[in-house]
Chain A
Amino acid sequence: MSGAAGGSIATRSSDPVLDPVRALPFPEAALPILHNTQLRTNVAHATDIIQAKRARLVQEKSDWQALRTAAAAIRDNVLQNLGDYLEQFETNCIAAGGFVHWATDADEARRIILDLLRDENASEVIKIKTMTSAEIQLNPALEAAGIHPVETDLAELILQLGDDEPSHIVVPALHVNRFQVREIFARRMGLPNLADDPQALTAAARAHLRKKFLSVPAAISGANFLIAETGSVSIVESEGNGRMCLTLPRTLITLAGIEKVLPRYRDLEVMLQILARSATGERMNPYTSLWTGVVPNDGPQRFHVVLLDNGRSSILARPVERQTLRCIRCAACQNACPVYRQTGGHAYGSVYGGPIGAILTPQLMHLEHAQSLPYASSLCGACYEVCPVKINIPEVLIELRAQVTDIERKQATRVFDPMYLGMRVANTIFSSAGLFHLAQRLGRIALAPFTRKDGWIHSLPSLGSRWTVSRDLRGLSKQTFRDWWSVRQKEKP
């Protein structure tokens, strides 16, 4: 790895902005990454470590399956009664001195946040890592409005200074190694003699951000949980940058997806037990904060929550896909996914990578974009097995593939698409026994020259090569079952 220590280092392998509208289809975006050995080494190293830690802690928890069952049931209860819980949250948050805003889509959420920051005359804003703000492309909008966002999570800071994008929900810079971090920090913080050990790099980040925490008057956070019973908001973190942003500024703006609500404070007894174990392989993350509106003399005295729909309510309406919204963003599915582990997160063209991204992003895009993502999976089921809220990701992937297919085959441009043409021909043939037998006989004759002695077809010409370029095909057997049966009946004495 030390070979990457000098010079300018490209940690990014795809389009700089993770925007599903502009992203390349997954197979095209993944291709250059598969040639980037450094990035793949970094991703494999990080995901191996998290997976091993998670496995050890799950093993020691004798009630793990009961916790998963409870967590899934609580999240389902939330989704079934979402309207009531959101109104309850809103009432209690307002009663505690907070303001609640509702945003139908990304554009409206950006406008609300920009207006709030303009009221503060803010030229800078400190941020806690929030994937939801990346989902709505908040940072470019802030920059365009002359408000500089300062990312305070170490990984997000690395990405911001390195002009890079997150590739993982929990450890967004896991594709960057220490030498690359050193190069970025040395260049952007003006520290030419910075060492490349993680201790020195972390200390540099601490010093860099300390004055920001104490001087910037407004902060933006996401939310891990909203509590309907009390109107409280909870943030789960490790570094303390979250606590800084939640405590020191005058004004705090929390951006939360509408699905983030929990019925009661007590439900955290389930969620906090599964979240850290699944996300980072810890029994509990170093800091979990919870606050309720504005508390006199403690923390920000102006508090706003922006509740974001942006496609979530339409996911809620679909019976199979609804479970997507149970997600608590632990990223265990990313770490376990054999596809993610090869490609990293950027290939998914969205801030949500890995299996959860493969089902969430296309749905947030109403299947108008990111149609290739439901296919970015081997359907092996590792994601379902590790999911602490039991989202059956393979089931949703298959449902979305069916929907993508239904959309595509009705498109005029697909009329002569070889696959859909073939499917229509197959449909006709399979509807008639006579045609089917005829096709079998013709197929046997046509494929005979390509069938090797081992009974397999290893390469086909023309269109057929699209299949055989990456897979072998079983040759047709010399005799079908029906042929064999009729011969056998005739030969019977």
Chain B
Amino acid sequence: MSATGSRQSILARIRSATADSASTTPYASLPRNYTHSGSQPTAAVLHLLAERLREYDADLIECSPADLAACIADRLAASGRHKFVAPTDLPAAWLAPGFDWLIDHNLTHHQIELCDGVLTAAFAAIADSGTIVLHHSSTEGRRVLTLLPDWHLCILRATQVVETLPEYFSRCGHPPALVTFISGPSATADIEMTRIKGVHGPRFLNVILVRDDLQSVPHHYEAGSHEQL
């Protein structure tokens, strides 16, 4: 059968099979009575995210916007690694001096593979499942960037964190062309259901949570009510 022939015959079979189902619920009226928005205050949502990430053996620390550059330099130094790759449009202040930086102007897979780690921003994070969402913009990097290096440092702003998955979709607007949902480092349980971290993706996921939510209410920050994170 020719290529168009198969297309026509499959669609014809489908149409005849579903001819009697015209009177069914339209898409817009489908039942969606599940939880859409979270109910917890910001501090609790951020605490939940931290807890979930640590369950996945991901590492999370937080800092104020003013301290971010120093915090990044500190994390990079603590990793014991030296050669890092970054997407094209990260703020210059993030690229801490004293390390080898490769900026991804069409780097080859081999060049990226030779880096010890990668530094990126993120699009959003979902506290309920400890998920970081990348839309692969010019601050989040091409997909290969967060795949080949073994160590990933991801900068997340507190105002990017939502409690539930449906909240992310509400914020998302026009559907992105590329998305990666990351929930902890690469893992497998294929051998006797024993969870092993780091199969093919990065083995180490580190997150810096920038408390940009506290900018307008510095008083609370000074009071230290969120410091338990």
Contact = CB atoms under 8 A, between A and B. Distances in A.
Interface string A266-287: 1011101100000010111111
A366 B85 CA distance: 54
B6 interface: yes
Interface residues of B, number: 70
B165 interface: yes
B33, B182, B188: most-surrounded residue (chain A CB, <10 A) = B188
Interface string B1-33: 101001101110111111001001101001111
Interface string B118-152: 00000000101111000010000011100100000
B10 A206 contact: no
A82 B18 contact: yes
- Secondary structure call for the B interface: loop
Nearest to B106: A297
B185 A286 contact: yes
A426 interface: no
A270 to B, nearest CB: 7
Contact of A240 (B31, B147, B165, B181): B147
Interface string A161-183: 00000000001011001100100
A43 to B, nearest CB: 11
Contact of A269 (B136, B166, B179, B189): B166
Interface in A276-303: 280, 282-293, 295, 297-299
Contacts of A199: 196
Contacts of A244: 147, 200
Interface in B174-210: 175-194, 196, 198-202
A273 B165 contact: yes
B169 interface: yes
B51 to A, nearest CB: 11
Contacts of A178: 191-192, 194
A284 B34 contact: no
A15 interface: no
A69, A239, A244: most-surrounded residue (chain B CB, <10 A) = A239
A185 to B, nearest CB: 10
Nearest to B15: A83
Nearest to A242: B200
A80 B165 contact: no
Interface string A77-104: 1011111001100000000100001111
Interface in B153-177: 165-166, 168-169, 172, 175-177
A230 B196 contact: no
Nearest to B13: A313
B10 A307 contact: yes
B175 A283 contact: no
Interface of B: 1, 3, 6-7, 9-11, 13-18, 21, 24-25, 27, 30-35, 52, 56, 106, 109-110, 113, 126, 128-131, 136, 142-144, 147, 165-166, 168-169, 172, 175-194, 196, 198-202
10 contacts: A46-B192, A46-B193, A239-B190, A243-B180, A264-B175, A284-B181, A285-B183, A286-B182, A288-B180, A290-B176
Given A108-B1, A244-B147, 12 more contacts: A154-B191, A171-B193, A205-B199, A206-B198, A230-B177, A232-B175, A243-B201, A247-B144, A268-B169, A285-B183, A291-B177, A297-B142
